[in-house]
Structure 1
Amino acid sequence: MDSTRIDRWLWAVRLVKTRSAAADACRGGHVRVNDRSAKAATPVKPGDVVRARLHDRTRLVDVVRVIDKRVGAPDAVTCYVDRSPEPVPGLSGPVARRDRGAGRPTKRDRRELDRLRGIE
């Protein structure tokens, strides 16, 4: 096999959980093949560079082998070389949210928010 659809390949190498999620990512403009926006049917072949924004993280992978059937995780990682940038530490901490219509935060709420943010 020399090429396959990008949505099928993303699913087969386990970068996304379902093939429909891969198609949705392509439809939303979150997948690029060789710096070109990719539709779900865009062919991918060995040597291509795939950039995908998946699960709030940018993945940059080089295609080494093309598969169209989902395989086990140890086999899947042999199909690409991951050149993704390291996630920025500290951005995945707790997020302070308030209910809509709750009004202004009280002094106590503000202090708790500051404590969460690391401001003392």
Structure 2
Amino acid sequence: MDRWLWHARVVKARTSAAELVESGHVRVNGVRETSPGHAIKTGDVLTIALDRTVRVMKVVAFTERRGDANSARVLYEELNERKE
């Protein structure tokens, strides 16, 4: 999970992703997860409390390497955005 969060550019460093999960700020399908190595799969919904906001993201894809912001955006679907 920490690797996916880093690849998706939710955080700047993989260690930050691990700390975010360990501190209980990430839920997978509504269940709090505290293991950074927890496996996630396509279709999982992550709820992430980060920087006084809550992001709800649906896992859409995986990648082997961390890319730029454009390639990171294809890894998830933002579920808490307002669509007008």
User: TM-score, with normalisation over the residues of structure 1?
Assistant: 0.63
Q: Where does residue 48 of structure 1 map in the other structure?
A: 44
Q: Where does residue 66 of structure 2 map in the other structure?
A: 70
Which structure has the greater CA radius of gyration? 1
CA displacement at 1:67 relative to structure 2? 2.2
Alignment of 1:1-120 (within 5 A): 6-38=1-33, 39-84=35-80
Structure with higher RCO (Cα < 8 A, 6+ apart): 2
Amino acid corresponding to residue 44 of structure 2 in structure 1: D
Amino acid corresponding to residue 75 of structure 2 in structure 1: C
Can you give the 5+ residue segments of structure 1 that lack an aligned partner in the other structure? 1-5, 87-120
Count of aligned positions: 81
* Superposition misfits of 4+ residues, deviation over 3 angstroms: none
Structure having the larger proportion of residues in helix:
1
Can you give the 5+ residue segments of structure 2 that lack an aligned partner in the other structure? none
Amino acid corresponding to residue 23 of structure 2 in structure 1: G
- Identity of counterpart residues, as a percentage? 36
Structure having the larger proportion of residues in strand:
2
User: TM-score, with normalisation over the residues of structure 2?
Assistant: 0.88
